[in-house]
């Protein structure tokens, strides 16, 4: 149980385009979902926290207009990178929580902006 | 914000030996977790230790927590080639660990030589 999926697993896009990444909790309802970013050989950095039906809370330094997060249902959250640039190339990982005790991570999405 | 620091940043040992990784953090926490990440993949949750616990075991894993020194250690005994991965500590100020975004350390890259 407690499986989180992400789609796509890899995406390559051209500079200036937008990319949407989906995060789904497959066998549980996630009251809270988190989005992290990981640059090569670095650690994970929390970008934002989203609760179903409400606006996401962004960490300091993360542009909310560039990284649009929608948590429309208890099993789906999306992250849209708008007007992507090469510096946005990174590994994006989501996690989902159904309680206060556990957080389940997705397999990640590797974004490459050319 | 990033507050965890792991050391060493990289560790290479022979199969069968024990591997010890350390993590330090800066602020008060409610719990600390250790995760494993294989290259380019998502995170695997290893163990959670609460702030009122000093030591915890899970299989070949032993975690200690010293809140007075704001540090934790992860010991992997009888290492195997499959243990080759990056290991991260992550802290939460929430009483649970699920509903709060995690602050990750920089990680230790562990290589087990066959």
**3-state helix/strand/coil string of chain A:** CCCEEEECCEEEECCCCCEEEEEEECCCCCCEEEEEEECCCCCEEEEEEEECCCCCEECCCCCCCCEEEEEEECCEEEEEECCCCHHHCEEEEEEEECCCCCCEECCCEEEEEC
Q: Measured between CB atoms, does A2 come within 8 Å of chain B?
A: no
Mean pLDDT of all residues in B77-86: 97
Q: Are A43 and B101 inside 8 Å of each other by CB? A: no
The two tokens of residue B8 are 């060493």
pLDDT at residue B2, rounded to an integer = 35
Residue B97 pLDDT greater than 70, yes or no: no
Residue labelled with tokens 């159904």: A98
Residue of B41, B44, B96 with shortest CB distance to A99: B96
Phi first, then psi: give them for residue A87, nearest 5 degrees. -70, -10
Q: Name the most confidently modeled range: A98-107, B11-20, B94-103.
A: B11-20
DSSP β-ladder status, A57-58 and A44-51: antiparallel
């Amino acid at each position: 149980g407690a499986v989180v999926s992400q789609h796509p697993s890899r995406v390559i896009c051209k500079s200036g385009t937008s990319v949407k990444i989906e995060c789904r909790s497959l066998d549980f309802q996630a009251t809270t979902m988190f989005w992290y970013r990981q640059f090569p050989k670095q650690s994970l950095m929390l970008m934002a926290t989203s609760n179903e039906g409400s606006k996401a809370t962004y960490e300091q330094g993360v542009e909310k207009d560039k990284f649009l997060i929608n948590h429309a249902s208890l099993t789906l959250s999306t992250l849209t990178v708008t007007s992507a640039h090469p510096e946005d190339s990174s590994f994006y990982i989501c996690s989902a929580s159904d309680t206060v005790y556990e957080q389940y991570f997705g397999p990640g999405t590797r974004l490459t902006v050319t | 914000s990033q507050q965890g620091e792991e050391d060493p940043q990289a560790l290479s040992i022979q199969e069968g030996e024990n591997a010890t990784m350390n993590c330090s953090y800066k602020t008060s926490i409610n719990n600390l977790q250790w995760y494993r990440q294989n290259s380019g993949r998502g995170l695997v949750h290893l163990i959670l230790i609460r702030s009122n616990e000093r030591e915890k075991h899970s299989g070949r894993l032993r975690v200690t927590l010293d809140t007075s020194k704001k540090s934790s250690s992860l010991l992997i005994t009888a290492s195997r080639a499959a243990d080759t991965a990056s290991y991260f500590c992550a802290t939460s100020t929430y009483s649970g660990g699920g509903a709060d975004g995690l602050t990750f350390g920089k990680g230790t890259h562990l290589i087990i030589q066959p």
